[in-house]
C-alpha cells in the first residue's frame, strides 16, 4: 500500500513537472508513453528521426533501432561511428556493434573492417547464425557472404587526423571535446516491445584489435523484455568493469527509475575505476512504461529523446562537479 502510494505520488509529481517545462524533465514527462526512442549524443537527433518513422508507423523497436543507428554509421561527419570513424593506430577503421531484442536474442560484431553498417551485420549474426558474435576476418567474411559491399571507410578527413596524430603523437582525447561518440539507441514500440542497438569505431588510435564495451552484451548494451534496456558510451575499459548496461537493467528491475539506475551504476563505476576523474562515461536507459533517464560522469553528456511530443536534445545530469 505504501509503495503503491509512493508510485502514484511519483507519477503525479512527474506529470506536474512535465507540464510546461519540457526542456528540464523530459525523462519524467515521457512516462507511460509509447512509442519512444532515446539515443546518445547530438547525432542521436538525426538517428532518432529515422527510428521514429519506423515506430510511428507501428514498426518494431528492433527495426527502429537498426534503422536509426544506420544514420550515424553512414554520416562521414560523425568521426566515432561507421564511415568517417577515426582509425586505430595503424590507420585501420575497425568497427564494433551490437543489437538486442525484447526476447533476449542478440547479435554482435567486433573489429569489423570495410563494412559501412556493422549494426546490420550484427542483426544478421543474430538472425542467421547459431552464434551471437563474430569478429575480425570472420565477421567480414560473413558480411560479404550476406551481400554487404566492401568499402573504404577511412575518409580523407579521418586520414588527415590520423596522419597528424602519427606525426606528433600528442593527441590526447579530451573529455567531450568533440561531442560525438558511440551511438547507443533504445526504443519502445507501440506493441510494448523494447530493443537496443549500439555501434562505434571505438577509441581513436586504439591498438589494432582493441574491442571496447559497445559490442559486449551486458556492458555496452542490454535489453530485458520484462524490464527495459540500457546502453553506454564513454571509456569502454571502465564500462566493462561493472557490466554497466546489465547492471542498470537489474537496478530498474529492483524498482529504480531509469535515471536513478544510471546514477547508481555510475557510483559503482567510480568505485571500480580509481582514475574516474580523467574519463567520461554516459548511460541512457528506458523502461517498459516509456520512462527514460540518463546520467553522465562528467558534465557535457547529451542525449536525444523522441516522444510523441517531438525530438529534442537534452543535457544529462552529471555526477562529478
Which residues here bind ligand ASP, judged by CB under 6 A?
A: 80, 181-182, 200, 202-203, 212-214, 233-236
Cβ proximity to ligand ASP, 31 vs 181, nearer residue:
181
Q: 3-state class of 48 per DSSP?
A: helix
Cβ proximity to ligand ASP, 63 vs 237, nearer residue:
237
CA distances from 251 to 21, 69, 226, 246, 269 (A): 27, 26, 13, 9, 14
User: Measured between alpha carbons, how far is 89 from 82 in angstroms, rounded to an integer?
Assistant: 17
- Contacts with 4 (C-beta within 8 Å, 6 or more apart), sequence order: none
Alpha carbon of residue 241 to chain centroid: 17
CB 261 within 8 Å of CB 252: yes
CB of 309 to ligand ASP, least distance (A): 28
Kindly write down the DSSP assignment for every residue of 245-300, as one continuous string: HHHHHHHHHTT--HHHHHHHHHHHHHHH-TTGGG--EEEEEEETTS-EEEEESSTT
Q: Identify the helix (H) or strand (E) that includes residue 99.
A: strand 95-100
Cβ proximity to ligand ASP, 35 vs 236, nearer residue:
236
Active site residues: 182
Cβ proximity to ligand ASP, 236 vs 290, nearer residue:
236
CB of 51 to ligand ASP, least distance (A): 19
Cβ proximity to ligand ASP, 178 vs 250, nearer residue:
178
CB of 235 to ligand ASP, least distance (A): 6
CB 190 within 8 Å of CB 34: yes
CB of 280 to ligand ASP, least distance (A): 8
CB of 37 to ligand ASP, least distance (A): 19
| First-to-last C-alpha distance (Å) of the chain | 38
Closest listed residue to residue 306, CA positions, set 65, 1, 71, 5: 65
Amino acid at each position: 500500500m505504501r509503495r503503491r502510494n509512493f508510485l502514484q505520488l511519483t507519477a503525479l509529481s512527474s506529470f506536474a513537472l512535465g507540464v510546461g517545462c519540457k526542456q528540464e524533465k523530459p525523462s519524467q514527462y515521457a512516462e507511460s508513453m509509447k512509442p519512444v526512442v532515446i539515443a546518445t549524443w547530438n547525432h542521436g537527433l538525426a538517428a532518432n528521426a529515422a527510428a521514429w518513422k519506423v515506430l510511428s508507423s507501428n514498426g518494431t523497436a528492433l527495426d527502429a533501432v537498426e534503422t536509426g543507428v544506420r544514420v550515424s554509421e553512414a554520416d562521414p561527419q560523425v568521426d566515432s561511428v561507421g564511415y568517417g570513424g577515426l582509425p586505430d593506430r595503424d590507420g585501420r577503421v575497425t568497427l564494433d556493434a551490437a543489437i538486442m531484442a525484447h526476447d533476449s536474442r542478440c547479435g554482435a560484431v567486433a573489429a569489423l573492417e570495410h563494412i559501412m553498417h556493422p549494426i546490420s551485420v550484427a542483426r544478421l549474426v543474430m538472425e542467421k547464425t547459431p552464434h551471437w558474435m563474430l569478429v575480425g576476418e570472420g565477421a567480414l567474411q560473413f558480411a560479404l557472404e550476406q551481400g554487404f559491399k566492401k568499402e573504404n571507410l577511412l575518409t580523407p578527413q579521418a586520414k588527415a587526423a590520423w596522419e597528424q596524430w602519427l606525426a606528433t603523437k600528442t593527441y590526447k582525447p579530451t573529455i567531450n571535446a568533440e561531442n560525438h561518440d558511440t551511438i547507443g539507441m533504445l526504443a519502445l514500440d507501440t506493441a510494448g516491445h523494447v530493443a537496443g542497438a549500439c555501434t562505434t569505431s571505438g577509441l581513436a588510435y586504439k591498438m589494432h584489435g582493441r574491442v571496447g564495451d559497445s559490442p559486449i552484451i551486458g556492458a555496452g548494451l542490454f535489453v530485458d523484455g520484462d524490464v527495459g534496456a540500457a546502453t553506454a558510451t564513454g571509456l569502454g575499459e571502465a564500462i566493462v568493469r561493472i557490466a554497466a548496461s546489465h547492471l542498470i537493467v537489474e537496478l530498474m528491475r529492483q524498482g529504480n527509475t531509469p535515471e536513478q539506475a544510471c546514477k547508481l551504476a555510475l557510483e559503482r563505476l567510480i568505485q571500480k575505476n580509481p582514475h574516474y576523474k580523467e574519463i567520461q562515461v554516459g548511460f541512457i536507459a528506458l523502461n517498459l512504461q516509456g520512462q527514460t533517464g540518463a546520467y553522465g560522469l562528467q558534465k557535457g553528456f547529451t542525449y536525444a529523446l523522441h516522444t510523441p511530443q517531438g525530438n529534442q536534445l537534452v543535457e544529462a545530469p552529471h555526477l562529478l562537479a
